């Protein structure tokens, strides 16, 4: 079993704003604490910035690799309406939650314990 770490929860202390959109998109490994992420699954958002070409899955995968994540999960930001994240080849274990509705399933709810188990086969 792997522990999930959302990118905004693994910021280095000197990062200015955890609400900055690009931080959740895993686009800059220099702002993330590799010690908190190493060996864990990095959870990244997929926002309108990907659709506009300002962010990329490739860069997020590079970020996950740079911080030694065991894998990556992409979820579609609920504010991205009318888009669906297409299957994308990845060079590390990963999961894409392709629609906003599906992304809401894994979001924690108040007063409810949620646990998500992801089993990744060894990456060859």
Tens digits of residue pLDDT in 61-103: 999 999 999 999 998 877 777 776 667 788 899 888 877 666 6
pTM of the model as a whole? 0.77
Give the torsion through C-alpha atoms of 72, 62, 32, 121, to 10 deg: 30
Which segment, 11-20, 54-63, 86-95, is predicted with the most confidence on average? 54-63
Residues of the chain by 3-state class (helix, strand, coil), percent to 5: 30, 15, 55
């Amino acid at each position: 079993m792997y522990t999930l770490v959302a990118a905004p929860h693994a910021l280095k202390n000197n990062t200015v704003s955890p609400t900055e959109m690009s931080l959740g998109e895993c686009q800059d490994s220099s702002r993330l604490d590799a010690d908190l992420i190493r060996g864990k699954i990095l959870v990244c958002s997929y926002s309108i910035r990907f659709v506009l070409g300002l962010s990329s899955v490739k860069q997020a995968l590079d970020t996950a690799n740079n911080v030694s994540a065991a894998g990556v999960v992409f979820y579609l930001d609920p504010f991205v309406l009318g888009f669906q994240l297409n299957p994308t080849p990845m060079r590390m274990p990963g999961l894409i939650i392709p629609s906003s509705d599906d992304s809401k399933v894994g979001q924690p709810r108040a007063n409810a314990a949620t646990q998500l188990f992801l089993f990744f086969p060894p990456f060859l």
